[in-house]
């Protein structure tokens, strides 16, 4: 059975972007939004979603979850970390000029009461005891970076297919940090 990994991200654009990035590497992906997770069970939808993904009959290697910009990824990451897991957890977020990193560290100290982060680069923080798990922070907001590279505004495009096209074009001309993100997701 292929190794299974769970990826948390913030919104629909991230979800499409990460799916395309992994798809280009022939990785199979299951994606879920927060509504689908809540719908899985009144009380333990998160756990049910994970359990279904981990079952052997689910052949996908990646579970991508987006929280519909509810800003809960960091909180949830440390909660999930505190459970026994058999899978690496990867979080991909906008750095938001350093605010995200501060929140990440504050939540870590509050919940875990110790420093678990190992900084590998300005964008990448792996967990000390579980190197496959970690957090990647986009150096620039994804939509801004897409606009800069492709000249197209992702926000103003409504159809998913069109968004995919733009993001595909972005990946084809990707800046260096996208390669680093790809490595993080794969290893």
Partner 1 sequence: MTLLPWIEINNFRGISHLQYEPKQVNLLIGRNNSGKSTILEAIYAVLMGKEVPTIFNQGRYLNRYGINVHAERASISADNHDFFISCSLSDLPADFSEKIVEKLNLVLFHNAKFTPSPFYQKKFIDYLINSRMVSFSVLDGNLRSIDVTPYKGFSEKLAADSQSIFAGADISPEDLQEYLYQFCRMSYGFSENVDANVGNIRFINNSDKLFYQVTADPLELIELDKFVLEHNLLPNVERLMEDGVVYRENDETYFLPYTVHGTGFSILLNLISTIRQCRDGVLLIEEPENHMHPGYLQVFVENLMLLARKLNVQVFLTTHSYDLIEAFANYSQYDEEESVEERDLIQITRIVKRRDEHELYNYTPSEAFAEMVEMKMDLRGT
Which residues of this protein are in contact with partner 1, per CB under 8 A?
A: 37-38, 40-48, 50-51, 72, 75-76, 79-80, 82-85, 129
Closer to partner 1 by CB, 1 or 43: give it: 43
Closer to partner 1 by CB, 83 or 106: give it: 83
Closest among 169, 177, 179, 122 to 146, alpha carbons compared? 169
CB of 93 to partner 1, least distance (A): 17
Closer to partner 1 by CB, 80 or 154: give it: 80
Closer to partner 1 by CB, 82 or 119: give it: 82
CB of 8 to partner 1, least distance (A): 12
CB of 83 to partner 1, least distance (A): 5
CB of 88 to partner 1, least distance (A): 14
Whether the CB-CB separation of 60 and 1 falls below 8 Å is answered with no
């Amino acid at each position: 059975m292929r190794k299974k990994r769970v990826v948390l991200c913030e919104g629909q654009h991230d979800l499409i972007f990460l799916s395309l990035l992994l798809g280009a590497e022939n990785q199979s992906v299951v994606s879920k939004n927060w509504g689908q997770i809540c719908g899985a069970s009144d009380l333990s939808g998160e756990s049910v979603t994970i359990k279904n993904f981990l079952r052997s009959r689910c052949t996908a290697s990646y579970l991508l979850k987006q929280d519909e910009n509810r800003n809960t990824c960091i909180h949830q990451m440390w909660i999930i970390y505190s459970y026994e897991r058999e899978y690496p957890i990867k979080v991909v977020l906008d750095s938001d000029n350093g605010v995200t990193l501060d929140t990440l560290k504050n939540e870590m100290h509050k919940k875990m009461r110790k420093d678990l982060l190992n900084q590998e680069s300005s964008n990448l923080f792996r967990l000390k005891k579980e190197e496959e798990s970690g957090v990647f922070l986009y150096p620039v907001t994804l939509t801004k970076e897409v606009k800069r590279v492709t000249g197209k505004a992702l926000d103003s495009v409504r159809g998913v297919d069109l968004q995919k096209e733009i993001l595909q074009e972005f990946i084809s001309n990707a800046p260096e940090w996208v390669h680093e993100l790809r490595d993080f997701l794969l290893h």
